[in-house]
Amino acid sequence: MRVQILSVLAVVSAAVNAQSSTVVPAPEVTGNSVGTVYAAILPEKEDSTVRGSIYAYPASNGTGVRFSVSISGLPAEGGPFMYHLHEKPVPSDGNCSGTGAHLDPYKRGEVPACDASMPETCQTGDLSGKYGNITSQEWTQEYVDLYSALRTDSVAYFGNLSVVVHLSDKKRIACANFTLAAAMDPIRTISSGFALPTSSGVSNTTVPSPTGGVPISPSSSSSSSPTSLPESNGAAGKFVSGTVAIFAVAVALVL
C-alpha cells in the first residue's frame, strides 16, 4: 500500500515538474494570407500624452501576422515599456484593468519569463517579450510574429481582443481594442494608401486614423498587388455587420 501511494506521488510530482519546466512550443499559424487588416488605435485621453496604433496584417507568405507598432508620447520615466495582446477586449469605460491577462491560448503562464531567442515558447500575446521592450518615448517597429492569427478559427486569433501598454512596473497606461480596419477584397483594386510609419523617421505627428484610411505596407503598396483595401473601415464594418445581420435572420428563420 505504502509503495503504491509513493509511486502515485512520484508520478504526480513528475507530471507537475514536467508541466512547470517544459513549455510546449506554440505552432506557427498558417493560412493568414487571405483576410483582413486589424488596427488598435490608442484613444486620445486628456490625462495622457500616449498616442499611437498597432496595425496587424496577414504576413505576406500567409504564416503569422505582421505587426506595425507606432507609439508616441510615452512618459519620460517609468520605462522600459512593455505591451501585449490581452485576452479580453477593453470595457466600454476604457478601463485597461478589464482586459484581463496576456493572450495565452496554450496556457504557458507567466513564468519562466519569455526568452526572445525562442519566441515559440513565449505567451502568444507577449509581443514586447518576443520582439523587445519599448525603450524610448517614441517608438516604431515592424515585425512578423509567426504564432499570431487573424484567422477566427485559431485559438491565437486576437482580432476581437486588445493591446495594452505597460510601464516597467506593469502599470497599464494605455489600451485599445483591435477592430477590423479593412477587409481585403480581391475584386476591387485600389492602390492608394498611406505609407506605413517606418523604422527610420520616427514621427509623432501622423498616426494613421482608422477612418481616414488604411496604411499599406511598402511591400504591398504596388499597384500590381493582388489585394486591395476599401477606403474606410466604415464600409467594411457595415459590410460585416450586414452579413452578420443576414446570418442572424437566417438562423432565426431556421429555428
Closer CB to Cu ion, 69 or 164, in the complex = 164
Q: What is the DSSP letter of 81?
A: B
Contacts to Cu ion from residues 65-94, by CB under 5 A: 84
> What Rg do the C-alpha atoms of the chain give, in angstroms?
21
Nearer to Cu ion, 129 or 208 (CB): 129
* Nearest-approach distance from CB 102 to Cu ion, in angstroms: 5
Asked if 58 contacts 41 with a C-beta cutoff of 8 angstroms, the reply is no
Q: How far apart are CA 75 and CA 41, in angstroms?
A: 18
Q: Tell me the pairing of strands 139-145 and 65-72.
A: antiparallel
Which residue minimizes CB distance to Cu ion?
84
17 touches ligand NAG (CB under 6 A): no
Nearest Cα residue to 32 out of 164, 141, 149: 149
The answer to whether 70 contacts ligand NAG (rule: CB under 6 A) is no
- Strand 215-216 relative to strand 194-195, pairing: parallel
* Residue 86, all three cell numbers: 490581452
The answer to whether residue 48 forms part of the interface with ligand NAG (CB under 6 A) is no
Q: Kindly report whether the peptide bond that precedes residue 112 is cis, defined as omega within 30 degrees of 0.
A: yes
| Contact partner at residue 116 from Cu ion, ligand NAG, none, CB < 5 to 8 Å by partner kind | ligand NAG
Residue 168 in contact with ligand NAG, rule: CB under 6 A: yes
**Binding region for ligand NAG (CB under 6 A):** 59, 61, 63, 80, 82, 88-90, 92, 94-95, 97-98, 116, 129, 132-133, 144, 152, 157, 160, 168, 177, 204-205
**Binding region for Cu ion (CB under 5 A):** 84, 164
